[in-house]
Amino acid sequence: MVEKLFRNRQSPDHYLPQIGQYLDFLLTFRLPEYATIPKEARLPGIVLEKFSAMRIDVGEDEYREGQREHGRIIPTIRKAFAAHAETGALLYLAFGQEAVECMTRGYTCDFHGCQVQAHHNLPQDVRAVGSTTNPANALAVNDLRNYTFVPGTGHFTKNSGPPDPRHNFHQFFHAISNPQFDGPREEEFDFFALRPVFPCYPPLPKPMSGEEIRLALGQWEKRARDLDIDHFMERWGPRLKVFSECIDEGGYCVPESEAAVARGQFVFPGLGAKTNRPRRVEIARNSLAAKYLPASASIHDVVMEASHEPQVSLPVFSKSYSWSLETLPRKSPGFAPTTRAVSLAAAGGMHNLRYRRASKSSTALAIESVQDEVPF
């Protein structure tokens, strides 16, 4: 059964300390040097996270319980993301003030005809059994660290019009994820999750300089007073600058040709049992997933050979989830983040993170974790 991490936690305040730790976790992912990568071979602000995983059948109790748990917790998580200083600011920059106001009430919001959805980076159809370097760790599907808010397919009204497939990143991500769990359910396999290094994606609607970002946040009348803009820019400014340099004036969208392909591969029928192997190999090699996934990835039950080279080469990480996001006993003060990474020691491919929070009533909270970074 899925671990019930969030049951009986109704108030968004419970999540604010966890969100602070989640943001610190996201900042441990390093971005590539985009200046050395051709523009057509970039997927800005995205890395791959490698898991050792098992497939889950949609008829299993584990899958159904995961869906029920997601439905129970997600309105509160929306409220918490909108209430937290840093995630609220990032949502405002990405999707606008109306989106933040909708999420403050626990609702989804419209963005170019798409609905901003809480996307599972590790899909509900797979179970992480540990990283490739640390089999003891496992990421629960409804763990806060597994969510990214992205525009996706949803109900639309005559006012919003049909969703624009170029902004449907939820569908695009699933078109790369879904073929990986098309096949037998008994065997463990390498699963590569697309991991945005921001809590919402894309993080900017157009290229913006640091001063433009500061100005936009300063003009955010309802919340500017709650945000330490200097601290925000110190943490997120470098990443937003890198993302801004990678996109065109019209903002970052799913390429039109890939948006059409993504629609077809998002709703694909299972090919593993219905198609002979030579045909599956041909489909796998020409799939959208093969463009982004490295050797050892399983696509339509075909493991990509060692000689496979994706057209878009993304950095691959394998992280430890042996530490849990703690819910602190006291209410978070205002909208200020309650946790910050105070030490980051890097030695080769290993990152040692230590989070500390001073407390008058108890010993300082210490959450220590070794983050394994595996270059491929």
| Inter-residue contact 108 to 239 (CB < 8 Å) | no
- The token pair at 297 is 């990835």
- The token pair at 9 is 């936690």
Within a domain: 247: yes
Closest C-alpha among 336, 285, 339 to residue 307: 285
CA distance 101 to 92: 9
Quick count: other Cβ atoms within 10 Å of Cβ 274? 10
The residue with tokens 């606008």 is 96
CA distance 147 to 224: 25
Within a domain: 6: no
Q: What is the pLDDT of residues 44-95, one digit of tens each?
A: 999 999 998 888 888 888 889 999 999 999 999 999 999 999 999 999 999 9
Residue 41, pLDDT > 60, answer yes
| Inter-residue contact 206 to 249 (CB < 8 Å) | yes
Distances (CA, A) of 159 to 106, 110, 112, 356: 21, 11, 11, 48
Within a domain: 4: no
CA distance 154 to 152: 6
Within a domain: 53: yes
Distances (CA, A) of 94 to 117, 254, 318: 13, 16, 27
Q: ∠ CA(232), CA(233), CA(234), 5° rounding?
A: 90
Within a domain: 243: yes
Residue 131, pLDDT > 70, answer no
Per DSSP, the three-state class of 174 is helix
Within a domain: 26: yes
- The token pair at 31 is 């971005």
The residue with tokens 């490295």 is 294
Give pLDDT, residue 338.
32
The range of the structural domain enclosing residue 140 comes to 12-372
Within a domain: 160: yes
Within a domain: 71: yes
Considering the entire predicted model, what is its pTM? Answer: 0.80
How many domains does one find in the chain?
A: 1
Distances (CA, A) of 100 to 9, 83, 94, 194, 242: 21, 9, 10, 24, 24
Q: What is the pLDDT of residues 142-200, one digit of tens each?
A: 899 999 999 987 654 445 556 678 888 998 999 899 889 887 767 888 999 999 999 99
Quick one: average pLDDT of 103-117? 88
Give pLDDT, residue 326.
62
14-18, 22-26, 342-346, range with greatest mean pLDDT: 22-26
The chain-wide mean pLDDT, for the chain, equals 77
The better pLDDT of the pair 350, 156 is held by: 156
